[in-house]
Amino acid sequence: MSLKLFDLSGRIALVTGSSQGIGYAMAAGMARAGAHVVLNGRDTAKLAKAAVDLRQEGLKISESAFDVTDSTAIEAAVSEIEASIGPIDVLINNAGKQHRGPAEEFEDEHWRDLFRTNVESTFFAARSVGRRMIARKRGKIINIGSVQSELGRPTIVPYTATKGAVKMMTKGLAAEWAKHNIQVNAIAPGYFVTELNKALVENAEFSDWLCKRTPAGRWGDVEELVGAAIFLASNASNFINGHILMVDGGLTASV
């Protein structure tokens, strides 16, 4: 009975940046919980492969290729998804990227690229889907922050600034839209093994440091983000607004 709270049957979810990594794992997990999930990314071949793999499991999966930095493309895609599949109940703003480098040498274009991909995209997609959710008086928006929403670290100053912005955008949207029965929350992952972190995964010194620094003593597995995504996408979180759920093996709980 209480498990029904987490049931996503009949829900339509759009997960940005879900052709691989964290987005793919959350999309697959939500589809396995009953949702019809729309995958997104820019590389159409990669997107199609991800969709085929999940459809072979018998899951309800669609694809929508667009660039999350382009607000016009987002609006067109959201409109098309709603016309062809149905109203989007859940939006996960997951697409994001990383550029590493010393702050004193960081290039303008990399700074702008990070803000466009990690911050502007989150606002543009929330605005486009949120407008429709307001009219329907219900919806779930989940933004993907990071432990860098809370903690600084050398060589990733601009990324840290973007994830701090995602945290505060989550609180701002929650404050504005809770009255419309829209719950806006964030998941803040610690360090997970994905393409985005390839350089770190392959760096033995960093990996040793991370495992010592993290109370759980290891990297995260992307499957360990699925429970948080289902929780924040489901009726189990109907009175949770503006919460930042750390999924980090205790990293931000300790010094």
Residues marked active site are found at 159
Residue 213 sits in the site that holds ligand NDP (CB under 6 A):
no
By the 8 A CB rule, do 38 and 85 touch?
yes
Residue 124 sits in the site that holds ligand NDP (CB under 6 A):
no
Segments in the chain forming alpha helices (H): 21-32, 44-56, 71-84, 108-114, 121-136, 157-177, 198-201, 204-213, 226-233
Q: How many residues bind ligand NDP (CB under 6 A)?
A: 29
User: Which residue is listed with tokens 């994830």?
Assistant: 163
Considering only CA atoms, which of 92, 86, 94, 93 is closest in space to residue 11?
86
Residue from the set 160, 183, 185, 194 that interacts with ligand NDP by CB under 6 A: 194
What residues between 137 and 156 interact with ligand NDP by CB under 6 A?
Answer: 144, 146
Total residues found in the chain within this entry: 255
Residue 96 sits in the site that holds ligand NDP (CB under 6 A):
yes
Q: How far is the CB of 194 from ligand NDP (least distance, A)?
A: 3
Q: Of the two residues 46 and 55, which places its CB atom closer to ligand NDP in the complex?
A: 46
User: Which residue is listed with tokens 């071949």?
Assistant: 45
Q: Of the two residues 145 and 242, which places its CB atom closer to ligand NDP in the complex?
A: 145
Helix axes 21-32, 226-233, angle to 10 degrees: 60
Q: How far is the CB of 189 from ligand NDP (least distance, A)?
A: 4
The residue ranges that bind ligand NDP (CB under 6 A) are 16-17, 19-23, 40-43, 46, 67-69, 94-97, 117, 144, 146, 189, 191-192, 194-197
